[in-house]
């Protein structure tokens, strides 16, 4: 579990409550993720937290069969993934509740769920 600092505490507190937050720039209007104190698009520091819908599309993924780092080794195989959030940003994550990774498809709809206070995604529907 990442350690929250003064800046990311809002993100991790929301995740512990089952809410996904992203950052949005008040200058250019674009959303971004991972959380930063400035906009990576226009460099403005006028950014704010906002709730994300939790809807996304699967962009890419890889099935991890071996990982020697704790606690990941106990979870193999697992699906490491990148999703495109409905709000625009791309997010690294894990696809859970996926018994058959062969059924995953680029563009398939996924939704956020939370495991131990960490946002992960599962197929919608």
| Tokens representing residue 118 in the block | 């960490």
DSSP-based three-state secondary structure for 16? helix
pTM over 0.85: yes
Res 2: pLDDT:
74
Query: Distance between CA atoms of 69 and 19, rounded to whole angstroms?
Result: 27
- The three-class DSSP label of residue 12 is helix
Give the pLDDT of residue 43: 98
The more confident residue out of 61 and 3 is 61
Q: Residue 43: CB partners within 8 Å, gap ≥ 6?
A: none
């Amino acid at each position: 579990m990442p350690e929250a600092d003064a800046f990311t505490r809002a993100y991790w507190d929301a995740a512990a409550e089952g809410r996904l937050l992203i950052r949005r720039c008040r200058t250019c209007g674009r959303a971004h993720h991972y959380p930063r104190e400035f906009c990576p698009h226009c460099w403005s520091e006028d950014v704010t937290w906002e709730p994300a819908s939790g809807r996304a599309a699967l962009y890419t993924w890889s099935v991890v069969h071996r990982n020697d780092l704790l606690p990941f080794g106990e979870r193999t195989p697992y699906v490491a993934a990148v999703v495109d959030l409905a709000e625009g940003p791309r997010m690294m994550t894990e696809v859970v509740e996926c018994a058959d990774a062969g059924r995953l498809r680029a563009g398939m709809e996924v939704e956020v769920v939370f495991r131990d206070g960490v946002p992960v995604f599962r197929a919608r529907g």
